[in-house]
Structure 1
Amino acid sequence: MDRSAYALIATDLDGTLLRGDDTVSDRSRAALARVAEAGARHLVVTGRPAPRVRSLLEDLGCTGLAVCGQGAQLYDAGADRLLWSVTLDRELAEIALGKIEAEVGQVYAAVDQDGVDGLTLIEPGYLMPHPTLPAVRIDRRDDLWCAPISKVLLRHAELSDDELAATARAVVGSLATVTMSGPGTVELQPCGVTKATGLALAAARLGLSPWQTIAFGDMPNDIPMFDWAGRGVAMANAHPDLKAVADEVTTSNEDDGIAVVLERLFSASAVR
């Protein structure tokens, strides 16, 4: 396909652009540089909240927009400010947690606070899926609700992520949107908010359309983004549900799957 077909390159981070050690390979950096030289835009679309991507965006040289918090935040990296954000009503979040625990027993919860300096708070028993990310341990669940939040993260001692997410969707209803964004990461976010809503908002600000967008991801939370974009590319390590709706499956995040596709679309000889 002609490189001009895609003016917006939307990439998830964990399990997609990032390797397991939270780094971006030289090959992927070179491919993204070639994208920029061709006049296309790279947009990070991640479940991580804005404060947890600031250093990564700086490392990548990103000074424009980023979609964070599963679509709940539109972050301007250059200005270090949120252009748009949606919070999850804390009372509804508590009700949703109660409904889930009534079905599956105790779950362990964490929250991402709203804002560019929001903290990640974790209650006793919650294990961070990404131990390198900073978090503040609190003593009681009630302390999770001390400030506005963008989402709740859930873990269960015995259920798989798929089982926990399926149960949560069945009982939460319109209280929140349930997503699964990675191993050990089932989340509740504001109802109706997805990566697609955040991506659509960012694309509109950039004057770009779905058909000009190619999206890369690895987990079920990327499905709405794939539905919105003109083309969706799943990593080899992606969840089966995402592979089922992808237009293409590339190599894994450890094997530069994004670069493999971008080199093809934006002249491989120029980026090697």
Structure 2
Amino acid sequence: MGDRPRLVATDLDGTLLTDDRTISRRTADLLVRLRAEGTPVVLVTGRPIRWLQLVYDQLPEPLPAICANGAVVYDPTTDEVLRADPLAPDLLAEVARRLRAAVPGVSFAVEVADSRQMRHETHYPLRWDADLDAIRAVESPEDLHSVPAVKLLARAGEQDPDVFVEVVAGALQGLAEATHSSYGGLVEISAAGVTKAAGLAWYCDRDGIAARDVLAFGDMPNDVPMLTWAGRAVAVANAHPAVLAIADEVTSANSEDGVATYLAKVFGLDGADPAG
């Protein structure tokens, strides 16, 4: 990568957002300045579309987003899904069958309608959701995989997420992608080949931007494919060990405006030091 990236891609939770899910004024202003100077900024997140408004409410203007760990590419200015890569119903059914056999007490939820809605089994624990009108319990397991889903969510009580994701991946044996983005024992499952890297690569290819010209930020294992793909990978200091191990550089923590500090230095917007 040259000194000036052609595109900035950043994860949200634990990276761009502080621990209370807010964006600092400094970060918001800096992102606007970058776009005004001609550098696109893309949000690349595990979040569904329905959770993005809480972020957009904190920005002067909405930013394009790659949601659901790469399964959905979203244009907020037109409220249009540019691309979606869901799990087909028959594949969902097979994934669920394998995991029920391998993981005692597993429960599921699915992100449907391009992640604008969620369906869940009655015993699936709901931890947080921004729009309760968009979620509902299903009456039978078959209802869960009756339509395509951009993400399948699996929980089995309190689990070490690193261990649990390995159990899930082993049961699936390449049938689908398994990753995690939190420390609460939630595994996120996408169609085979669907990752943050794949969604971002599609977006960049559409605009003629090569991987080597992308600067990417992240903090959790679901960010590893994107960070590995991008020309420059930056981890925040609070990142998971798997992310710190593959990052080209480390900036300060999300609670200390790590992304903004790094961008300010790279783009010459102030005198902040990007090294954390």
TM-score above 0.5, yes or no? yes
The 2-side partners of 1:180 and 1:243 are apart by 16
Report the more deviating stretch, 153-162 or 29-38: 29-38
What's the counterpart of residue 188 of structure 1? Answer: 189
The 1-side partners of 2:143 and 2:24 are apart by 39
Report the more deviating stretch, 188-197 or 58-67: 58-67
1:108 maps to 2:89: no
Alpha carbons of structure 1 residues 203 and 129: separation in structure 2 relative to 1, 3 Å: farther
1:151 maps to 2:151: yes
Alpha carbons of structure 1 residues 62 and 44: separation in structure 2 relative to 1, 3 Å: farther
Deviations 1:79-111 (A, max 9, x none): 111111111022222222222232231112111
The 2-side partners of 1:204 and 1:137 are apart by 38
Structure 1, unmatched stretches of 5+, are none
Deviations 1:117-157 (A, max 9, x none): x3112222322344446433334333322432111011121
The 2-side partners of 1:212 and 1:58 are apart by 29
- Give matches, 1:113-262, under 5 Å: 113-115=112-114, 118-132=116-130, 134=132, 135-184=135-184, 185-262=186-263
Alpha carbons of structure 1 residues 234 and 94: separation in structure 2 relative to 1, 3 Å: same
What's the counterpart of residue 264 of structure 2? Answer: 263
- Which residue identity is paired with 1:60? L
- Which residue identity is paired with 1:239? H
1:23, CA displacement in angstroms? 1.4
The 2-side partners of 1:88 and 1:105 are apart by 23
Identity %: 37
- Bigger relative contact order (CA 8 A; separation at least 6): 1
1:206, CA displacement in angstroms? 2.1
Report the more deviating stretch, 73-82 or 139-148: 139-148
TM-score (norm 1): 0.90
- Which residue identity is paired with 1:122? H
What's the counterpart of residue 52 of structure 1? Answer: 51
What's the counterpart of residue 16 of structure 1? Answer: 15
- Which residue identity is paired with 2:170? A
1:62, CA displacement in angstroms? 4.4
Report the more deviating stretch, 154-163 or 75-84: 154-163
Contact 2:22 2:58 in 1 (8 A): no
1:60, CA displacement in angstroms? 2.2
What's the counterpart of residue 77 of structure 1? Answer: 76
Contact 2:197 2:229 in 1 (8 A): yes
SS where residue 182 of structure 1 aligns?
Answer: coil
The 2-side partners of 1:202 and 1:268 are apart by 26
Alpha carbons of structure 1 residues 56 and 139: separation in structure 2 relative to 1, 3 Å: same
The 2-side partners of 1:209 and 1:130 are apart by 36
Contact 1:121 1:137 in 2 (8 A): yes
Contact 2:50 2:131 in 1 (8 A): no
1:162, CA displacement in angstroms? 1.1
- Which residue identity is paired with 2:223? D
The 2-side partners of 1:160 and 1:108 are apart by 16
Contact 1:9 1:41 in 2 (8 A): yes
1:55, CA displacement in angstroms? 4.7
1:46, CA displacement in angstroms? 0.9
- Which residue identity is paired with 2:117? L
1:171, CA displacement in angstroms? 1.5
1:243, CA displacement in angstroms? 0.8
Bigger proportion of residues as helix? 1
Alpha carbons of structure 1 residues 76 and 25: separation in structure 2 relative to 1, 3 Å: same
The 1-side partners of 2:16 and 2:127 are apart by 17
Deviations 1:170-221 (A, max 9, x none): 1102321111122333111011111011001111122211111110111111
Aligned length: 269
